[in-house]
Amino acid sequence: MKNRGATILAIIGAALLILPLVVHDTFVLRVLTEGVMWIGLAIAFDVIAGYTGYLNFGHGAFFGIGAYTIGILMMQANLPFWAALPAGGVAAAIVALIAGIPTLRLKGAYFAIATWALSRAIQQLALNVEFTGGPDGMRLEAFLNPQFFYYLMLITVGGTFAILWYLLERAPFGLKLKAIREDEEGAKALGLNPTKLKMQSFILSALPTGILGGIYAYWITFIDPSSTLGDLVSDQAVVMVVFGGMGTLFGPALGAILIFAFKTIFWAYLSDFQLLYLIILGALIAISVIFIPNGLWGTMVKRKAGAARPQQNAEPVSEPAALSAVAAPEEGN
């Protein structure tokens, strides 16, 4: 089964790599590039929301921080793109570290509201300071090479997926985050340090988001507070992850593909009905929560596991036993 999954991923990866050699239409390539970007934003959001259980409505702030960091360093400090790009991720990670100290003490709706307020505060800051261009935004030097940005976005998202797959699905780190999500007090009793682990999860979610924001800024060549620091980035990430399936990596990727495809078709034919698009996004969240609480991917996996269970003779390992196996007995893990 694992070999089959690896083969499917390899085929998809090979197809994405050769796609620009087949597709020569610039518009189609731009659509594909943005689609890949949203996959990256969704899986990064899922680290803190799906695996750790903390719904972050300020996810778009990290995207905007990365975008503005690139813009400021390139246009005002005259740094080349490759030197400025890592700074976008580092800046987002530093903000996550600082913001996480007070906000990660909160839980549930309180954390969601606090992160939303953080996002709004950063947006207002960008609107009122001169070095960001204020409400007029900032224009970057154009680099007209669609293939370059497609491959850069693809490599960044592919690398992010591979690293997160190892950390969250193969290393003990992912199981520790799930322990916090299911029962934070129980995780403490097992010897885990929830404060440290939640902070690591928050930073791990912010860093690739900031890098993707930096690539987006150089690709689009114009950024302003409404497009990079607005609520739409966070809102769409929430819908993609909830609809696709929280707490998995394939679920958010699937949700990002479907929601972005719908968005592209909607804006192509119904661009005058912006409010309708937001209403549909809200309806999708409600439908997902009520009818498919595990998301599309989670529902498919659950049904497949249920069909295979009668054929299994081995007794499954209970979750508490699995958690005990990875919980470090020392204090501070």
pLDDT tens for each residue of 133-148: 888 889 998 888 899 9
Query: Is the pTM for the entire model greater than 0.85?
Result: yes
Residue with more model confidence, 257 or 290: 257
Query: How high is the pLDDT of residue 266?
Result: 86
Least confident range from 67-76, 107-116, 304-313: namely 304-313
Phi-psi region of 292 (alpha: psi -120 to 50; beta: other; left: phi over 0): beta
Please tell me the distance from the alpha carbon of residue 175 to that of residue 158, in angstroms, as a whole number.
22
Domains of the chain by range and CATH? 2-303 (1.10.3470)
Q: Would you place residue 212 in the very low, low, confident or very high pLDDT band (cuts 50, 70, 90)?
A: very high
Contact residues for 210 (Cβ-Cβ < 8 A; gap 6+): 62, 63, 65, 66, 69, 88, 89, 90, 91, 92, 93
For 1-29, what is the mean pLDDT? 76
Between 216 and 310, the more confident residue is: 216
pLDDT of residue 331: 46
Judge whether residue 307 has pLDDT over 90. no
Does the pLDDT of residue 183 top 60, yes or no? yes
User: Position of tokens 């620009």?
Assistant: 20
Higher-confidence residue of 314 and 42: namely: 42
Three-state SS for 107?
coil
pLDDT at position 270 is: 79
Amino acid 274: pLDDT? 75
pLDDT given at position 108: 87
Summarised one tens digit per residue, pLDDT across range 40-99 is: 999 999 999 999 999 999 999 999 999 999 999 999 999 999 999 999 999 999 999 999
Q: How much is the pLDDT for 23? A: 80
Whole-number pLDDT of residue 287: 85
pLDDT of residue 325: 46
DSSP code, position 51 = I
Q: Indicate if the pLDDT at residue 272 is higher than 50.
A: yes
Alpha-carbon 274 to chain mean position? 24
pLDDT at 317 over 60: no
